[in-house]
Each structure stands twice: as C-alpha cells, then as structure tokens.
Amino acid sequence: MSETLGLDPLLLEILACPCEAHAALEVDGARQLLVCTVCFRGFPVRDGIPVMLLDEALPPTTRDAPGPQDSAEA
C-alpha cells in the first residue's frame, strides 16, 4: 500500500501538481508524500486524501531539487 499511499492508482495517474507546470507526481513512500517531478514540492496525504495546495506543500529537499552540479555538467 505504501507505493500508492492508499490512493487509487487511477487517481494517481490524473493528479497533477498545482504549480504552473502542472507536472506529474511521483509517490515517495518513505516520506508519505506525492512529489512534483518539476518543482519537487511534497504534498502530504492525510486520511487518504491528497492535500494539493501549494500553501500546504513541503519545500523540496536538497536530495530532490536539482543543484548546480546537475545543471552544470558538460
């Protein structure tokens, strides 16, 4: 169940980040979050309901966010 956080897989397919990119989300089972594939914000799932509000989102961790080493490779 942790790979879907108790959410319907069809719902996971259609959910998108509320950021301007409206990007897909990935499940982070270790942190129990849905993570945006573009802005890397984390959205909690509370009582089986994804909280898709930017004001409630957790900021990206340094592990998630692309750093200078990622963009500066030549």
By the 10 Å C-beta count (0-12 exposed, 13-18 middle, 19+ buried), 12 is classed as: middle
Residues 6+ apart with CB under 8 A from 61: 40, 42
Q: How confident is the model at residue 47 (pLDDT cuts 50, 70, 90)?
A: very high
Q: How confident is the model at residue 3 (pLDDT cuts 50, 70, 90)?
A: confident
Q: How confident is the model at residue 62 (pLDDT cuts 50, 70, 90)?
A: low
Going from N- to C-terminal start, the domains of the chain cover 9-61
Q: How confident is the model at residue 25 (pLDDT cuts 50, 70, 90)?
A: very high
**What is 9-61's CATH number?**
2.20.25.10
Confidence (pTM): 0.78
- What's the average model confidence in pLDDT over 51-68? 79
